[in-house]
Amino acid sequence: MRASLLDYTQKELVELIKPKFRVKQIYGWLYHNYADNYDDMKNIPKALKEELAEKYLVNPMKIIKKEESSDGTIKYLLELQDGKTVEAVWLKMKDAKYDAKGEVIQEARYTICVSTQVGCKVGCTFCLTAKGGFTRDLTAGEIVAQVVNLKRDNNHKHNRMINIVYMGMGEPLDNLDNLAKAIEIFKEDEGLCIGGKRQTVSTSGLSNKIDQLGAMDLGVHIAISLHAVDDELRTELIPMNKAHNINSIIEAVKRFPIDTRKRVMFEYLVIKDKNDDIGSAKKLVKLLTDIKAKVNLIYFNPYPGTPYNRPEVKDMINFQEYLVNHGLLCTIRDSKGIDISAACGQLKEQENNK
């Protein structure tokens, strides 16, 4: 596999490309103009482009499928150099606001959900990505390229109003080195300039890796896919809970450096008759007492062959009410893109079954 220019920080490119001022120009082409190939880079000499083209791709992936939902969510299937595919999602979080003259006073906000691996080793029993097993880690450039490709496709010219969530396919902390590198590249001042505060790493709870990520001090948020309040059910849903049990995760979260004004997000996938009862809500409140937490309840999104069911709306609301009445911040994830097979791995699976 060939490396791409998106695999490198600006500092690294300065080591690889001479003279230095060309790096600044190339960085502009990559992250401000979303260049797709060397031909796009108008002010770069042909000889330098040819030399670079021998070693590095500009864009290591291409969009092969796109599904747009009525709420503005767009789900993408991207093909990598080796023919493997991953998903990324463009989510519109807030509409733009205009004044009486039609001038924009506040721009629309978007969140881009990216994948970190082809497949996943964790093997959660409710997750479609897990069904295909694990194929390989994504490189830093392949993580970065998802954002660049989605921004290009949506003609999103500047870098404000973008958040990144590592909630696509794969377990981000199982690919920690490439994840950390991608986080750094996103943060670059002259690149996309998406700060740590605007990046959220979602993990199924590899507690030792939560500590390692914390030690890197990248300033990112974490979201914990908790999904269950006792180890027996959690191990059924997430088999590696045997090695990283609930207690070890809670302890690791307490050690994780977070902005004191912020909260750690706990994701709780609600499955009918499994974890949607008030007894579970009660345990959840107890479990999170010492943590500045916020809970995001997610409706289980069924797919053919799954033994699990989507919870009832009333149970979801009762669960939320219990948490809120006991002092926990709690939202129900609005099922953005539900009409376009939103849960992770579902677009890819459709493509495989054709």
Q: What is the C-alpha separation between 147 and 101, in angstroms, rounded?
A: 32
Is-catalytic flag, 344? yes
User: Which residues, 280 to 339, sit near ligand SF4 by CB under 6 A?
Assistant: none
Segments of 143-237 assigned E as strands? 162-166, 199-203, 221-225
Taking CB under 6 A as the criterion, the residue among 141, 170, 191, 311 binding ligand SF4 is 170
By CB neighbour count within 10 A (0-12 exposed, 13-18 middle, 19+ buried), where does 206 fall?
A: buried
**Dist. CA 61–CA 229, nearest whole Å:** 39
Residue 130 contact among ligand SF4, ligand SAH, none, beta carbon within 5 to 8 Å by kind: ligand SF4
Nearer to ligand SF4, 23 or 344 (CB): 344
Rounded distance between C-alpha atoms, residue 215 and residue 257, angstroms: 8
Q: Where do contacts with ligand SAH occur on this chain (CB under 6 A)?
A: 126-127, 167, 171, 202-204, 225, 267, 269, 298, 300-301, 343-344
Position 41 contacts ligand SF4 (CB under 6 A): no
What is the C-alpha to C-alpha distance for residues 281 and 278, in angstroms, rounded to an integer? Answer: 5
Q: Using the rule CB under 6 A, is 129 a contact of ligand SF4?
A: yes
- 142 binding partner (options ligand SF4, ligand SAH, none; Cβ < 5 to 8 Å by kind): none
Structure token digits, residue 146: 């998802």
Taking the C-alpha atoms of residue 11 and residue 336, their distance in angstroms, rounded to an integer, is: 38
The DSSP output letter for 135 is E
Annotated catalytic residue, options 87, 171, 184, 267: 87
Q: Which is nearer to ligand SAH, 8 or 300 (CB)?
A: 300
In the complex with ligand SAH, which residue's Cβ is closer, 60 or 345?
345
Please identify every residue annotated as catalytic.
Answer: 87, 344
Binding site for ligand SF4 (CB under 6 A): 120, 122-124, 127, 129-130, 169-171, 204, 344
